[in-house]
A and B are shown apart, each in its own frame.
Chain A
Amino acid sequence: MNKLINDPGNVVADALRGLAAAHPELRVDHEQRVVFRGDAPVRGKVGLVSGGGSGHEPLHAGFVGAGMLDAACAGEIFTSPVPDQMAAATNGVDGGAGVLHIVKNYTGDVMNFEMAAELAETEVVAVVIDDDVAVQDSLYTAGRRGVGVTVLVEKIAGAAAEEGRPLDAVAAVARKVNSQGRSMGVALSSCTVPAAGRPTFDLPDGEMELGIGIHGEPGRRRVPTGTAAEIAEMLLAPILADLDFTGGDGVICFVNGMGATPLIELYVMYQEVAAILGKAGVPIARSLVGPYITSLDMAGCSVTLLKADDEILRLWDAPVRTPALRWGV
């Protein structure tokens, strides 16, 4: 398979050098593999730290900047960063108001962030994101995975921190967004981890993995592919069954590309999603369409709905200036 890489073992380091070169407003610690806001720590502001395995770009480093994250830790591909990195990020963004850890619910990420919080020299509150409705029976699993809602939490909690709210209040906003958001994804192809050199799983033509995560792990069910309209139905049915999105102030509707699916297909999906929501009586208040939380070169998409209210919409609309999300500035 042809790839734009030098050495499969250096992909993460090389990409961080590229990010630093393209975005001089960020400060990259190449030793620890932490990307900081150029002006971190911001005095008196709650620091927001996230991180995770690489391969989900632009998540997380692409969301570092004013109005969103203060620092992001990059692990190896699909592998949680280590506690030393997270502790360095935490201490580096501590402006005296404490630090919020935004942690996707994966066994490794949760354990490493726990160990990092024990090492950090400031007050840390962790919010664990678990929005993936594909994981049904949480009693017998590691719990729901953190997927699309992570992007929305980073934006909305980031805006709350930028307003100068204290740590508890920023954490409460993050938890609210997590509890009101749901996601479901589908893979039309596997992905290839550079160091492994071949696709993680085989997916024959005409079949797709429904309920996919973001690491090339197989989904819950393999089903025949369908039209965009049929796939939209398969993704939305479990989301709408899991939480009542009707009434209120509508939803933020996020159609996310998994990495190899072109934007034109994501817009085809978006109109199908919008049609289904229209019939279900769920008004769309805001939208986000594009590859924001990816799985290397996997084809496919995920749909995330966040039940909105005045506060969420106001924080969503607040200015943000990061490599991957930028508005109002």
Chain B
Amino acid sequence: MPDTVDITALHGWIREFARLIADHKDLLTELDAAIGDADHGINMHRGMSAVVTTLESESPGRPSEIFKRTGMTLVSTVGGASGPLYGTAFLRMSAIAGDAESLDGTDLAKLLRAALDGVAQRGKASVGDKTMLDALSPAVEALESAIEDGQPLAVALGAAVRAAEEGRAATIPMVARKGRASYLGERSAGHQDPGATSVTFLLAAAATSLS
């Protein structure tokens, strides 16, 4: 299979992310109950359901349009911190995608790098703060280095998912420094971060749908 991601595959990515969120809604909410405010699964599920409805009715035909509709819908329906953070991630991907009709592995790495930078800026967070960045950042690095090494997209995305999973696990002992979990201080240690968990689903969905 050639390493070209077409519009159908991108629609599949978003739908698969929505499905993973729906299937793990209770897990995300439980993780959030331990160190946050018990709504991450509920909010992401509401937002991604709205995204799927929007994409079905409008059926955008360019990568930049898919990401823009996804980002705008998440900003308008999720609320909390996740809305602006995921919304900004998709809007940055939309800006980088430009006029492209399809994407290759190098494009995808650039898009996800822009998403990562957008999330860091909007949230004023860094790696190690126990946030979604702790999974997203190593995943983007793994994707970039696999693509640079000339690996097929399937292999590169597989490496990104593994890096995200390791990053997600690494949030367990961390003491949170951003978001509501930071109010707990030391008591936030010992719990997996819900944002790092949901963003790992985004990468897992990419690996399933884009290669």
Contacts and interface: CB of A to CB of B under 8 A. Distances in A.
A137 B179 CA distance: 14
A53 B63 CA distance: 33
A76 B43 CA distance: 9
Nearest to B43: A79
A22 to B, nearest CB: 25
Given A142-B178, A215-B37, A215-B180, A195 B81 contact: no
Contacts of B84: 83, 108, 111-112, 114-115
A195 B75 CA distance: 21
Contacts of A195: 39, 42
Contacts of B105: none
B78 interface: yes
B38 to A, nearest CB: 5
Nearest to A195: B42
A145 interface: yes
A151 to B, nearest CB: 20
Nearest to A214: B37
Interface residues of A, number: 37
B75 A216 contact: no
Given A79-B80, A196-B33, A200-B33, A145 B183 contact: yes
Interface in A102-127: 106-108, 111-112, 114-115
A75 to B, nearest CB: 5
B83 interface: yes
Contact of B123 (A53, A76, A107): A107
Given A200-B33, A215-B180, A217-B180, A193 B75 contact: no
Given A111-B123, A141-B183, A78 B178 contact: no
B79 A217 contact: no
Contact of A83 (B29, B39, B75, B175): B75
A157 to B, nearest CB: 24
A78 B76 CA distance: 16
B182 interface: yes
A115 B122 CA distance: 10
B150 interface: no
Given A107-B123, A112-B84, A218-B187, A82 B79 contact: yes
A152 interface: no
Contacts of B85: 111
Contacts of B39: 76-79, 193, 195-196
B185 A80 contact: no
Output the residue of B39, B43, B123, B185 with the most chain A CB within 10 A: B39
Interface in B73-95: 75-85
A259 to B, nearest CB: 15
A318 to B, nearest CB: 33
A145 B82 CA distance: 18
Contacts of B38: 78, 193, 196, 200, 216
Contacts of B29: 196
A213 interface: yes
B53 to A, nearest CB: 16
A267 interface: no
9 contacts: A53-B80, A76-B39, A79-B39, A107-B179, A114-B84, A145-B183, A195-B39, A217-B36, A217-B184
Given A106-B180, A142-B178, 10 more contacts: A80-B81, A82-B76, A107-B178, A108-B82, A141-B183, A142-B179, A193-B38, A195-B42, A196-B29, A196-B38
